[in-house]
Amino acid sequence: MKEFRTKLLLMAAVAATSLVMHTLYTRYQQRRVKHNRMLQDIAEEGYETAGDILYPNQGGGRMQYGPVLPNS
């Protein structure tokens, strides 16, 4: 009976671990697809500020319009 319980606990641990890994990998894939789709959309627009116009709320907080002067 003790062997059966040990094997059952081991199988449950393996199943739980594989479920967690599958969930993490699925989320990673979804994030990668979304990121690639965003990059593709930006590339299809064909101009430099396309990312800022298409996705205004996605980072890029230090945007500066106009010339950039070096710090002396």
Two tokens, residue 21? 């890994």
State the average pLDDT over residues 65-69.
72
The answer to whether residues 58 and 51 touch, using CB atoms and an 8 Å cutoff, is yes
Is the residue at 35 inside a domain? Answer: yes
Per the structure, the complete domain to which residue 18 belongs is given by: 2-45
pTM of the model: 0.56
| Eight-class DSSP state of 58 | S
CA distance 50 to 70: 25
Among 23-27, 34-38, 53-57, where is mean pLDDT lowest? 53-57
Burial category of 50 from C-beta neighbours within 10 Å (exposed 0-12, middle 13-18, buried 19 and up):
middle
If we measure between CA atoms, which residue out of 47, 51, 19, 28 comes closest to residue 38?
A: 51
Is the residue at 70 inside a domain? Answer: no
Is the residue at 21 inside a domain? Answer: yes
Is the residue at 55 inside a domain? Answer: no
